[in-house]
Chains A and B, each alone.
Chain A
């Protein structure tokens, strides 16, 4: 398996622009997570999907952030409008959980390095 695939690897954009990050989870995994990593705040969970349904979006910073999972093999994280403080590495991770509550091993993608100028 190719693992969790994220695109793009790097994104440089100007403040106010829309940014869309993409993720393809490992085939057969039923849970998907979006994390943000910064020096100041470390690794933060933004949103958790189970069977394509958002279970926990309490980590989404504000209304400028939105995430979708239209099917089991694809998810997007969108920032509109983007701001310099959104600059970070965004990771997607997937796992197979026997139920929505269980969360034992995550497989991470290589991340998207976002720079908002």
Chain B
């Protein structure tokens, strides 16, 4: 069964500094990978996704992530963060659908990014 590990529960960073939020997954088959963001008192929004093709995926708000199959990682990066990036970030994985099944999203525990002035 697949699982997702987000290695940092909280990441404090100063405004305009770079940030990396780490995500590792375990799966025995090909996967789809996602990053979602949750702003306070809101639902989750999709930041970016990897389905196939280029391992470097660009998303909204200047975020990008790189799929590394050998390290089973999908770390999220942004070269310069803003105060408005303060939120909870969730990594998610799904196996490609088995016969008769569906690709079920499994979410990590989340990483709280706190951007300070």
Contacts and interface: CB of A to CB of B under 8 A. Distances in A.
Q: Do A and B bind each other?
A: yes
A12 interface: no
Interface residues of A, number: 22
B102 A108 contact: no
B41 A45 contact: no
Interface stretch (B12-20, B44-52, B72-80): B44-52
Interface in B89-113: 90, 94, 97, 101-105, 107-110
Interface bracket on B? 20 to 34
Contacts of A106: 36, 44, 46, 105
A93 interface: yes
Interface in B23-37: 32, 36
Nearest to A59: B104
Nearest to B98: A101
A101 B103 contact: yes
Interface of B: 32, 36, 41-46, 49, 51, 90, 94, 97, 101-105, 107-110
